[in-house]
Amino acid sequence: MSCFDGKEFDKFDNEKTDYIFGMKNGVIICGTSIIDVKHHNMLNDTFSSFFKEVNLPEGKFIESTRFLWTKIGLVHFLVTGPLLLWPYFFH
């Protein structure tokens, strides 16, 4: 894990990774990263030792193992239900 410009990143944050953020009043309050399973990902590379066998299906599938919530986002979710997620894709 490294930090740059106030943001944490690792080898899975790369040009093949996309991000989806939940926003409220223009402020990011939750999010996740997604990556096509045909690329290096945390499920295959990091967490595979936790399972006897990991056989990911062939085809168009994504991996999403990292989620973030701010305190405001978590309270909003628990009190009012799901948020509108805003896809933010960049490479």
How many structural domains does the chain have?
Answer: 1
Q: Does residue 42 surpass a pLDDT of 60?
A: yes
Q: Does residue 36 surpass a pLDDT of 50?
A: yes
Provide the residue range defining the domain that includes 40.
2-88
10-19 average pLDDT score: 87
3-30 average pLDDT score: 82
Rounded Cα–Cα distance for residues 4 and 59 (Å)? 34
8 A C-beta contact, residue 37 and residue 17:
no
pLDDT digits (tens, 9 = 90+) for 53-66: 767 677 788 888 88
Q: Does residue 91 surpass a pLDDT of 50?
A: no
Q: How far is CA 56 from CA 15, 35, 59, in A?
A: 22, 13, 9
Q: Does residue 84 surpass a pLDDT of 60?
A: no
Assign residue 30 the CATH number of its domain: 3.40.630.30
With a threshold of 0.85, does the pTM exceed it?
A: no
